[in-house]
């Protein structure tokens, strides 16, 4: 089964379970307030980190370097902000892990090494040379 499909099915189940467990300890109103506060704080911090990443990307461009890490980091911050907007504790934890620079760098390093191994495994090709030959029929036209 596709891992994305499993995540789409399991994420609401995990969120509902966490809502029930946390709500039973701290109360329903406090749980709802906590969800709104984490969303607001997460969006504010995502904006701050996004502007820092944009500033860093411009500095890379001024140095005539390609801002590869900044582009990937900006995408991760966008995903983190989206996860923080979605109500729930599991998505908030993942969102905050993606927003903070140290954990984001660690997660991106793990993902890039995983994709690098896949890329190396898919690079099985045969190298060869070819020569173009003229056909008699081409000259007659």
How many CB atoms are closer than 10 A to CB 107?
15
Judged by DSSP in three states, 64 sits in coil
* Geometric angle at alpha carbon 71, from 12 and 82, rounded to 5°: 20
Residue 69 has a pLDDT of 87
- Quote the mean pLDDT of the chain: 85
Residues 6+ apart with CB under 8 A from 38: 84, 92, 96
| Alpha-carbon separation of residue 29 from 22, 35, 88, 89 (angstroms) | 11, 10, 14, 15
In which band, very low, low, confident or very high, does the pLDDT at 2 lie, cut at 50, 70 and 90? confident
- Looking at the whole model, is its pTM more than 0.85? no
Phi, psi (5° rounding) for residue 66? -85, 125
Give mean pLDDT, residues 75-94: 91
Residues 18-66 have pLDDT tens digits of: 999 999 999 989 999 999 999 899 889 989 999 999 999 999 999 998 8
Delimit the domains of the chain by residue range: 3-109
Query: Is there a contact between 134 and 141 (Cβ–Cβ < 8 Å)?
Result: no
In which band, very low, low, confident or very high, does the pLDDT at 129 lie, cut at 50, 70 and 90? confident
pLDDT higher than 70, residue 88 = yes
Query: Is there a contact between 80 and 46 (Cβ–Cβ < 8 Å)?
Result: yes
């Amino acid at each position: 089964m596709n891992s994305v499909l499993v995540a789409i099915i399991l994420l609401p189940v995990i969120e509902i379970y966490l809502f029930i467990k946390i709500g039973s300890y701290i109360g329903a109103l406090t749980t709802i307030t906590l969800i709104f506060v984490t969303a607001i704080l997460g969006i504010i911090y995502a904006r701050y980190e996004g502007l820092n990443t944009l500033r860093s990307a411009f500095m890379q461009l001024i140095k005539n370097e390609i801002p590869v890490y900044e582009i990937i980091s900006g995408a991760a911050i966008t995903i983190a902000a989206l996860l923080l907007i979605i109500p729930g504790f599991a998505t908030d934890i993942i969102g905050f892990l993606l927003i903070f620079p140290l954990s984001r760098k660690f997660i991106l390093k793990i993902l890039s090494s995983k994709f690098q191994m896949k890329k190396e495994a898919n690079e099985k090709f045969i190298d060869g040379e070819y020569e173009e030959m003229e056909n008699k029929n081409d000259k007659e036209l």
